[in-house]
Amino acid sequence: MLKVLKCDFWRSVINRGFLLSAAVTAALCFFNQVFSNPSNGKAYSVLEALFAFDYEFMAANVDFSPPVIINRALSGYYLSMALPITASFPFVFSFVSERNSRNIRYTVVRTGRGKYYISKFLSAIISGGLCTALGIILFGIFIYFLFPNAHSPQAIADYIPDGAFITLVRKVLSAFIYGAASVLPAFFLCSFCTNPYIILCVPFLLKFILETVISQIQINAATAGDIEAYERLTPFLPSSLAYLLGMPTDETFFKIIAVNLLFAAAMLAGFSLIMEKRKDMGE
């Protein structure tokens, strides 16, 4: 089992798609909002701030502290929407390449059906989590070189009360969890779809619809003062995983974990069931 998992994992990671996904993830983080001008209300992304403000202004403002910027790395709309594509890219093209090589039948016979399905599942979520985490790490490295690290721990305590190191570690782990969960729909589609572009685009569309609908319902509930309805819907938001490790361990926290574990189990069961029904063993 471990040997099969190791082969599947390295097949997903040792390719240009993995590095490209990590680079795109890092690039999308530069479009996150980092500063809002109180005089005119204009919001600036990380990229805009680099060209709009000088070094002295950024050194005097805590919003431009590297740990504070990195702490907001997963909060951007563009990254959230693109994650089903960037996190799934390494595994999907690796799996499609294996399918096109007509070697799946021999691999399944040699390893066993159950081990094959679980190995693919684990390699998918691990590769998706790692490329997302690597993207956040790359983004953090760039931020530490581009922005002034001139703020004391006391100055940024209101933004990151647990300290810079703990916050950065938590953000990388959150990126891994978020990326691992984002690859699940594409993993399921791989069981019956052979077009990699459809496999990548359908989860993107589904996430866009789900996020838009739930967010609008939550806005209406908050406007009406129905906080309970707002909180009941939070576990079903895919983007809630981005903030999981920074949340208090309350009922909502455990509901988010439960919903995503059930979703992961459903995707694995669906993948296994469809592959079992196929006469060609996925080829």
Handedness of CA 215, 221, 224, 225 (dihedral sign): negative
10-residue block means of pLDDT along the chain (283 residues)? 65 80 94 83 86 85 87 87 92 83 70 84 92 94 88 76 84 93 94 90 93 89 82 88 84 91 95 80 52
C-alpha closest to that of 207 among 102, 74, 77:
77
Tokens at residue 244, please? Answer: 């999981």
The pLDDT, as a whole number, for residue 180 is 94
pLDDT of 141: 93
Q: What is the pLDDT of residue 279?
A: 63
Q: Name which of 179, 174, 185 is nearest 264 in CA terms.
A: 185
Dihedral sign for Cα atoms in the order 171, 175, 176, 177:
positive
pLDDT at 8: 64
Q: Provide the whole-model pTM.
A: 0.88
- At 3 the pLDDT is 65
